[in-house]
Amino acid sequence: MKILFVGDVYNELGQKAFDKYFLNVKNEYKPNFIIVNGENIEKGNGLSEKTYKDYLTRGVNVFTLGNHAFSRPDYKEVLELPNVVRPANYGKNTPGKEYVVINYNGKKIAVINLIGRIFMHDATDNPFTKMDELLESIEADYIVVDFHAEATSEKYALAHYLDGRVSAIIGTHTHVPTADNIVLPKGTLYISDVGMTGAKYGIIGGDVSQGIRKFLSGVPERVKPQKESLLQFNACFLDLEMKKIERINIFE
Ligand SMILES: [Fe+2]
Ligand SMILES: [Fe+2]
């Protein structure tokens, strides 16, 4: 099973970078299955049904999300869409699905999204014990986890905790790609962060002057996306049989 995982597509420049590079990457790597983190795809906040449908016609199979899963007014309808997962450890009463299982040529691929708790603001459940719970009930040939988290320590701890129990753990959320694509001792593929798709020169996708102003003044502001920039496209290519995880980092 060959999987392409594209990191957080951020705002209009993210969609522009996706439009520019996705097809070439898809044609070059020929994945069987494609996962996109879409938590920032609409103006930095959440996913819409329109983009969901558009990307599915272009070959995307599943959207994962993150802390922006609930940022749009229509989030409940979006979370109902069949191939969208929100972080499983938000809790039992949270709208949306804890995981999806998709059939591909007779094989079942489970996709799980989890959110970290270190340096994150939402009051979520423990991602480690949530995974124990989910793994008791999920029946699938392959399990891919998007761990949407800030701290590399938490990401590594979860990775080793799940080593040999899931096919791959792909980190998202920091928007900065790491170079630690590795195969863990018991065979799970891992990277701390796949990186983002969007502005090359933003502040992790946000407007540069605003980002600097916030640090100078200390006054919190809601992040505005960077409007113009060269682009970046970041993804990972996973071969689950060959136990291979390759980084795809395009920086214009
Ligand atoms: Fe993000
Ligand atoms: Fe995030």
Query: Any catalytic annotation for residue 68?
Result: yes
Distance between Cα 105 and ligand 2 center (Å): 32
Distance between Cα 155 and ligand 2 center (Å): 14
Catalytic residue, from 68, 148, 173, 175: name it: 68
* Alpha carbon distance 39, 71 (integer Å): 9
CATH number of the domain residue 57 falls in: 3.60.21.10
Confidence category of residue 92, pLDDT binned at 50, 70, 90: confident
Determine which helix (DSSP H) or strand (DSSP E) holds 199, and give its type and residue range.
strand 198-199
Distance between Cα 149 and ligand 1 center (Å): 10
**Contacts by 92-98, CB closer than 8 A, 24 or more apart:** 95/70, 96/69, 98/134
- Structure pTM? 0.98
* Alpha carbon distance 82, 87 (integer Å): 15
Running DSSP on this structure, what letter comes out for residue 200? S
Helix axes 127-137, 152-162, angle to 10 degrees: 30
Give 27-73 as a DSSP string.
HHH--SEEEEE-TTTTTTS---HHHHHHHHHTT--EEE--TTTT-ST
Q: Which domain holds residue 177?
A: 2-251
* Alpha carbon distance 223, 243 (integer Å): 38
Confidence category of residue 91, pLDDT binned at 50, 70, 90: confident
Over residues 188-204, mean pLDDT: 97
Can you tell me which residue has the tokens 């899963």? 69
Residue 126: count of CB within 10 angstroms of its CB: 12
Q: Rounded to 5 degrees, what are φ and ψ at 196?
A: -110, 170
Predicted confidence (pLDDT) at residue 150 exceeds the cutoff of 90 = yes
Over residues 87-100, mean pLDDT: 96
Distance between Cα 67 and ligand 2 center (Å): 5
Over residues 215-221, mean pLDDT: 94
Closest to 64 measured CA to CA, from 45, 40, 86, 43: 86
Cβ burial of 250 (10 Å; 0-12, 13-18, 19+) is: middle
Confidence category of residue 96, pLDDT binned at 50, 70, 90: very high
Give the number of the ligand closest to the Cα of residue 9: 1
2-16, pLDDT tens digit by residue?
A: 999 999 999 999 999
Residue-level pLDDT at 81: 98
The encoded tokens of residue 123 equal: 């009051």
Over residues 210-231, mean pLDDT: 94
Residue-level pLDDT at 66: 98
Cα–Cα distances in Å, from 224 out to 14, 210, 211, 220? 14, 7, 9, 12
Give the number of the ligand closest to the Cα of residue 121: 2
Average pLDDT, the chain: 97
Residue-level pLDDT at 168: 98
Residue-level pLDDT at 105: 93
Number of domains in the chain: 1
- What does DSSP say about strands 231-239 and 198-199: parallel, antiparallel, or unpaired? antiparallel
> For the chain, give me the number of helices (H) and strands (E)?
6, 13
* Alpha carbon distance 69, 230 (integer Å): 27
Over residues 202-222, mean pLDDT: 95
* Alpha carbon distance 112, 118 (integer Å): 19
Distance between Cα 64 and ligand 2 center (Å): 11
Predicted confidence (pLDDT) at residue 191 exceeds the cutoff of 90 = yes
Give the number of the ligand closest to the Cα of residue 67: 2
Confidence category of residue 138, pLDDT binned at 50, 70, 90: very high
